[in-house]
Amino acid sequence: MKLEMMKVTVIDIAQKAGVSQSTVSKVLNDYPEISGETRKKVLKAIKELDFYPDLVARSLVLKKSKTIGLVVGDISNPFFSETSKVVISKAREQGIDVIISDTDYRLENLEWALRNMVGRRVDGILVASVNRRDTVTTNLAKKGFPIVLFNRHTDDKGTSFVVTDNELGSWLAVDHLVGLGHEKIDYISGSLHFSTFYQRYKGYMKALQKHGLSNDPRFVFSEKTEKEQIKKFLKDILLLGNKPTSLYAASD
């Protein structure tokens, strides 16, 4: 960043545009009563002087930062990277910036991210991955801070959340396999500590029960989805005398 850029002030903009400092402030803060012609002059001066407003100072005055936090489990996971892109795009349409933090599914990282974002005075936080028994997000919501979970939620349900019907989706998947003639269905997912996998497992079990099929615990994998572990699990079940005839993967 050029040193000259840091020295440009609202006073400089006002002098360049031939308006008052308060008018410049109103333009910067999107006040509606400023005429189109005046707004053009101020914006032209801002561009010519290469002015960057002090967003921290402005947020203190307006009590809004026009910034939200986004917390994901693992940004390298295609699901989180793709949803993050959509969140950023939609926020940008509203003139809102997004701060992203990656927790690597660790509670201490989630706590740090939330504390840091609140300290930066974000206007709200979206959290894409929480443990079913997590209390950090729930406690923050109880204090009145705007926070919304998506993709996963806690068992407490004390925080607003947006999720798909994982149980029904899972039930439909298994019901489809049974309709194709399969009665021995293998199930693979991540840890049941997460609501997504727990609800999908419930749907799997309910579908088996509905069709009168027995549940063989040897056919179920619900641990951390690491490639070598899954390969070993699949190899073991394929060596069984009574091996499954179909596979239902509840996670990519």
Among residues 137, 162, 187, which one ends one of the domains? 162
Residue 214 maps to a domain: yes
What's the confidence (pLDDT) of residue 35?
85
- Enter the DSSP assignment of 105: T
Asked if residue 81 and residue 30 are part of one domain, the reply reads no
- Domain that includes residue 178, residue range: 166-249
Enumerate long-range contacts of 9-12, CB under 8 Å, 24 or more apart.
12/49, 12/51
Asked if residue 154 and residue 172 are part of one domain, the reply reads no
Whether the CB-CB separation of 175 and 142 falls below 8 Å is answered with no
pTM of the prediction? 0.72
| Domains in the chain, number | 3
Asked if residue 148 and residue 79 are part of one domain, the reply reads yes
What's the confidence (pLDDT) of residue 111?
92
Asked if residue 71 and residue 154 are part of one domain, the reply reads yes
Q: Which residues of the chain have pLDDT under 70?
A: 1-7, 52-65
Q: Domain with 140 in it: what CATH number?
A: 3.40.50.2300
Selection from 67, 134, 72, 68 nearest residue 102 by Cα? 72
- Which residue(s) pair with 107 in the sheet? none
The torsion angles phi and psi of 89, rounded to 5 degrees, stand at -65, -45
Asked if residue 152 and residue 180 are part of one domain, the reply reads no
Among residues 108, 128, 162, which one ends one of the domains? 162
Give per-residue burial for 171-181: e unless 16+ CB within 10 Å, then b: bebbeebbeee
What's the confidence (pLDDT) of residue 58?
57
What's the confidence (pLDDT) of residue 5?
41
Asked if residue 67 and residue 152 are part of one domain, the reply reads yes
Distance CA 49, CA 175 (A): 65
Asked if residue 205 and residue 154 are part of one domain, the reply reads no
Which residues have C-beta within 8 Å of that of residue 187, sequence separation ≥ 6? 201, 204, 219, 220, 221, 222, 248, 250
Asked if residue 171 and residue 131 are part of one domain, the reply reads no
Residue 58 maps to a domain: no
3-state secondary structure of 127: strand
Q: Per-residue pLDDT tens for 42-71?
A: 888 888 877 766 555 555 555 666 899 999
Among residues 143, 162, 181, which one ends one of the domains? 162
Which residue type occupies 33? Answer: E
